[in-house]
């Protein structure tokens, strides 16, 4: 009976969505991978499996992603593969290598416009949370370049919050306040605007330091606007 259950499991898609990685898991995965057809499917199975492991087993996930990049470099999969590589490197404390991997995301998105990722938002969050000011100009350019990708409230929150922080650093307090206000408005949204998925893409978690900074910037801009309005005096 146990054997039948095991066979049924292995016949499903669970074989490349494992949340554990024992010696048996690894052997079974690579046996199935070897039997799968074509570079595209091998790259996809490796990348999907890596997503299930990157939080708990970032080193293993990184090894699987390396196989996508080096052995099965399917153009459509490469932008997401490099993004997952960046996440794994961050988890392992290899931040400088992660920056290089983020840049590879954008390079491969340029080469394959049909494969877009959340890399532009992930990179901006990575940079502003760590206050990597030397990268602010690069992030600003990337965010503006991909503004047409914004879809969910969480996208608008991340985009505007990063630009609020960067604008403040640039000395543009009015712009910083406006971006901060829009970020905070996005964080309040309780409906995504999508009829069948109203709760998808909402802001569920905010960095406490960033939120305090956004509140400060939005309040300062509101005060400045009130002070400059003749009717407010």
pLDDT of residue 7: 46
Please check the confidence at residue 13 and state whether its pLDDT lies above 80. no
The CA distances from residue 86 to 58, 113, 125, 183, 218, in Å, are 10, 20, 13, 25, 32
Task: Give pTM, 2 decimals.
Answer: 0.88
Using DSSP, state whether 204 is helix, strand or coil. coil
CB 140 within 8 A of CB 121: no
116-120, 121-125, 159-163, 227-231: segment of lowest average pLDDT: 227-231
**High-pLDDT (> 70) share of the chain, %:** 90
Spell out the long-range contacts of 105-114 with Cβ–Cβ below 8 A and sequence spacing 24 or more.
105/79, 106/142, 108/75, 108/78, 108/79, 108/82, 109/79, 111/75, 112/75, 112/76, 112/78, 112/79, 114/76
CB 185 within 8 A of CB 173: no
Mean pLDDT score of the chain, rounded to an integer? 92
* Greater pLDDT, 232 or 21: 21
Tokens, residue 67: 């196989």
Nearest-Å Rg of the Cα atoms of the chain is 22
pLDDT band at residue 224 using 50, 70 and 90 as cut-offs: low
Distance CA 42, CA 149 (A): 28
Could you tell me the sign of the dihedral formed by the alpha carbons of 135, 176, 178, 190, in that order? positive
Backbone phi, then psi, for 146, in 5-degree steps? Answer: -110, 25
Q: 18 CB contacts (<8 Å, ≥6 apart)?
A: 25, 29, 49, 52, 53
pLDDT of residue 223: 56
Helix (H) or strand (E) holding 122: helix 119-129
**High-pLDDT (> 90) share of the chain, %:** 85
């Amino acid at each position: 009976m146990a054997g039948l259950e095991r066979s049924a499991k292995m016949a499903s898609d669970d074989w490349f969505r494992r949340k554990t990685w024992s010696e048996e898991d690894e052997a079974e995965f690579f046996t199935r991978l070897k039997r799968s057809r074509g570079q595209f499917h091998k790259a996809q199975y490796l990348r999907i499996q890596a997503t299930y492991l990157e939080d708990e087993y970032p080193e293993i996930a990184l090894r699987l992603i390396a196989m996508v990049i080096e052995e099965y470099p399917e153009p459509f999969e490469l932008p997401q593969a490099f993004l997952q590589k960046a996440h794994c490197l961050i988890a392992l404390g290899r931040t400088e290598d992660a920056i290089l991997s983020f840049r590879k995301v954008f390079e491969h998105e340029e080469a394959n416009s049909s494969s877009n990722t959340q890399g532009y938002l992930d990179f901006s969050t990575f940079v502003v949370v760590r206050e990597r000011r030397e990268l602010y100009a690069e992030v600003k350019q990337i965010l503006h370049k991909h503004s047409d990708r914004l879809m969910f409230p969480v996208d608008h929150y991340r985009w505007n919050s990063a630009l609020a922080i960067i604008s403040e650093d640039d000395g543009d307090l009015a712009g910083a306040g406006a971006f901060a206000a829009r970020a905070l408005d996005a964080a309040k949204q309780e409906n995504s605007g999508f009829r069948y998925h109203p709760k998808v893409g909402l802001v569920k978690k905010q960095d406490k330091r960033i939120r305090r900074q956004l509140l400060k910037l939005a309040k300062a801009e509101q005060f400045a606007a009130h002070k400059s309005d003749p009717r407010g005096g």
